[in-house]
Amino acid sequence: MLKNEKERAKKIFSLLKKEYPVVKSALEFTNAFELLIATILSAQTTDVQINKITPKLFKKYKSPKDYVNVPNEELEEDIHSSGFFRAKARSIKNSCAVLMEKYNGKMPKTFEELNALPGVGRKTASVVVGNAYGIPAIAVDTHVKRLSNLLGFIKSDDPDKIEIKLKELLPEKDWVNGSHLIIAHGRKICIARRPKCRECVLGDLCPSFNP
């Protein structure tokens, strides 16, 4: 069964590659640390909104030490428009404290180390290692979760199970871009509550196709 699933997934991602020949993270960053902060901030909001916040934020805070030393209220005000700003400020400060204490203010280079940071889960760790370090990883965001179910790859809302399934279906070299391709399609065509099925190149392969 898995062989047939892999063949179907191969066809789907081949079509997506033709539809979106150039894909990358929508978050704007210049280094792994900036991407870590941006990804923490992106929870429960759009990348577009985060990209409005981070230019000013990254000019003010250039290192983990800067985030650790700033008063909570000041950081909360600086990231207020990201939503859930108190929880996000706490996650940023706690993560940066560990970076200072355990890594001398440097970013760790492995998924396991990043995933162990407070306030950083598998999705954030996958985003950082995949996009900043080029290490194969699949980040399961809301688009990836939704489309993985709609496309029939899996019937589950568990991000960990979805990540495992996609890693089974895709060759390792396609893991990072695989996430980006699904996200690009989710934003442009397979939009939640108003999918453009008539414009979808995956119609013949999608069990949720509804023209």
Q: Which of 88, 93, 123, 165 is catalytic?
A: 123
The single residue listed with the structure tokens 């983990």 is 64
Among this protein's residues, is 204 annotated catalytic? no
Residue 136: exposed, middle, or buried by beta-carbon count in 10 A (0-12, 13-18, 19+)? Answer: middle
Q: What dihedral angle (degrees, nearest 10) is formed by the CA atoms of 52, 86, 119, 125? A: -10
Among this protein's residues, is 141 annotated catalytic? yes
Instruction: Answer whether 187's CB lies under 8 Å from 16's CB.
Output: no
- Spell out the alpha helix ranges (H) of 42-158: 47-60, 64-69, 72-78, 85-103, 111-115, 122-132, 142-150
Q: Which of 141, 145, 165, 174 is catalytic?
A: 141
Tokens linked to 27: 């978050």
Question: Catalytic amino acids?
Answer: 123, 141
